[in-house]
């Protein structure tokens, strides 16, 4: 081992991944695509591929049990992994679940966690087929691997976007971030005075988006019915701006995104203003919406326009034109990824 010491925060999450995997070589013919997308792609027949994705949730980093019910946590852990399979335009079929748990968790608590996992499996029609259980000295860690399937001709990678492609987002954005802000505020109030009850009235939507997000399996069905195969695709876990930049980097293109077109729920906007935050900024940088962001060819415009589940928010440009947010005044603002970074010292 070298005596040189470099802090991981100097590279950031994705820089670290690139650094650690730069010498990884493909050795097996069935490996169609490895590191660098929402899921690995493994050939299982001439026309079908298996999709595999893994995520970890760490207590104190990804969730706070002071306000995250264990049943909701189990559900969310499955949903975020199923979302990665959706982001490849595929359908999840199985999951494995591994947990590391400390002695402070009784059996009844773990039963609650698995109740949420089983509820999600029913909702997404996936089977729990294995995993591992071990002890932890610090708390709870959950690792889920999702396994899915897609026809090779239907798989959407991050790298497929071209100049003039249209940028589409599903659902609405920023609600999960505002739900987190609300929960964190009420946590601090409770810590200061446990006798004060949480003020959560009227915030059901943003709470649900944070505590129980849904993977957009319905969008995959809609795209099949519309006969649309996205030219590129990613799910929105780290913030819209961050995901746009991932698509642009992988596809070697630029992008113009129009702030006034970003779909934001009224409840989200109201909550953002209560916190003295700009709703568009929350939508761009909040993360954990687990909506789908994808590009389509211009000839697919008529197939998608008017669909209440999908919104056109911009278009891809030549790489030389950069990545910009066009504000309400028509000014070009260079897009910055300010979403979640696991190795950012501020997080």
Cα(12)–Cα(341) distance, integer angstroms? 6
Question: pLDDT tens-digit profile of 127-152?
Answer: 999 999 999 988 999 999 999 999 99
Question: pLDDT tens-digit profile of 224-249?
Answer: 999 999 999 999 999 999 999 999 99
Best CA proximity match to 246, nearest among 287, 282, 302, 297: 287
| pLDDT at site 12 | 60
β-bridge partners, 55: 144
pLDDT band of residue 5 (cuts 50, 70, 90) is confident
Q: Counting runs of H as helices and runs of E as strands, what totals does the chain give?
A: 10, 13
Cα(156)–Cα(231) distance, integer angstroms? 6
Please say if the pLDDT value at position 346 is more than 60.
no
3-state secondary structure at position 269: helix
Question: pLDDT tens-digit profile of 19-53?
Answer: 665 665 777 788 897 878 899 999 999 999 999 99
- Sequence spans of domains, the chain: 8-154, 166-334
Question: pLDDT tens-digit profile of 201-226?
Answer: 889 999 999 999 999 999 999 999 99
Please say if the pLDDT value at position 118 is more than 90.
yes
Cα(180)–Cα(194) distance, integer angstroms? 19
Question: pLDDT tens-digit profile of 50-94?
Answer: 999 999 999 999 999 999 999 999 999 999 999 999 999 999 999
Task: Tell me the two tokens of residue 186.
Answer: 């009420």
Q: Decide: residue 193, CB within 10 A, 0-12 exposed, 13-18 middle, 19+ buried.
A: exposed
Cα(101)–Cα(174) distance, integer angstroms? 31
Across residues 13-24, what is the average pLDDT? 61
Question: Between vectors from CA 326 to CA 324 and to CA 328, what angle results, nearest 5°?
Answer: 160
Longest dimension (CA), the chain: 63
| pLDDT at site 28 | 79
| pLDDT at site 340 | 45
Question: pLDDT tens-digit profile of 286-309?
Answer: 999 999 999 999 999 999 998 999
pLDDT band of residue 343 (cuts 50, 70, 90) is very low
Q: Which CATH class is domain 8-154?
A: alpha beta
The correct answer on CATH 3.60.15.10 for the domain covering 166-334 is no
Mean confidence (pLDDT) of the chain: 91
Evaluate whether 336 touches 283 at the Cβ level (below 8 Å). no
Alpha carbon distance, N-terminus to C-terminus of the chain: 29
| pLDDT at site 49 | 98
Cα(214)–Cα(219) distance, integer angstroms? 11
| Residue entry with tokens 């596809």 | 251
| pLDDT at site 15 | 65
Could you tell me the pTM of the whole model? 0.91
| pLDDT at site 339 | 54
Please say if the pLDDT value at position 341 is more than 50.
no
Phi-psi region of 258 (alpha: psi -120 to 50; beta: other; left: phi over 0): beta
Cα(14)–Cα(56) distance, integer angstroms? 15
Same fold across 8-154 and 166-334: no
Q: How many CB atoms lie within 10 A of CB 189?
A: 14
| Residue entry with tokens 């968790």 | 105
The DSSP element (H or E) to which 311 belongs, if any, is strand 310-317
List phi, psi (to 5°) of 225.
-65, -35
């Amino acid at each position: 081992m070298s005596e040189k010491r470099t802090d991981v925060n100097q590279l950031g999450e994705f820089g670290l991944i690139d650094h650690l995997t730069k010498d990884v070589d493909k050795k097996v013919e069935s490996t169609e695509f490895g590191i660098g997308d929402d899921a690995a792609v493994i050939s299982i027949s001439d026309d079908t591929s298996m999709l595999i994705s893994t995520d970890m949730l760490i207590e104190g980093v990804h969730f706070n049990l002071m306000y995250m019910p264990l049943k909701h946590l189990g559900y969310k852990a499955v949903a975020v992994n199923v979302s990665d399979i959706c982001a490849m335009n595929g359908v999840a079929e199985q999951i494995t679940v591994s947990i590391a748990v400390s002695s402070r968790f009784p059996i009844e608590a773990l039963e609650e966690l698995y109740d949420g996992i089983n509820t999600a499996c029913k909702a997404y029609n996936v089977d729990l087929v294995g995993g591992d259980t071990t002890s932890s000295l610090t708390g709870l860690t959950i690792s889920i691997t999702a396994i899915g399937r897609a026809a090779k001709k239907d798989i959407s990678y991050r790298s497929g976007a071209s100049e003039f492609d249209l940028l589409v987002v599903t659902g609405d954005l920023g609600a999960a971030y505002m739900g987190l802000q609300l929960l964190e505020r009420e946590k601090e109030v409770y810590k200061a005075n446990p006798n004060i009850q949480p003020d959560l009235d009227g915030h059901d939507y943003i709470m649900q988006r944070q505590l129980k997000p849904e993977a957009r399996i319905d969008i995959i069905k809609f795209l099949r019915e519309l006969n649309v195969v996205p030219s590129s695709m990613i799910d929105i876990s780290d913030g819209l701006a961050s995901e746009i930049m991932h698509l642009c980097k992988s596809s070697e293109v630029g992008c113009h995104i129009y702030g006034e077109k970003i779909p934001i729920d009224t409840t989200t906007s109201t909550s953002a203003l209560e916190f003295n935050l700009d709703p568009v900024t929350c939508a761009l940088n909040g993360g954990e919406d687990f909506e789908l962001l994808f590009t389509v060819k211009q000839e697919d415009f008529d197939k998608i326009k008017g669909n209440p589940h999908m919104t056109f928010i911009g278009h891809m440009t030549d790489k030389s034109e950069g990545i910009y947010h066009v504000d309400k005044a028509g000014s070009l603002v260079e897009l910055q990824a300010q979403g979640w970074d696991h190795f950012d010292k501020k997080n």
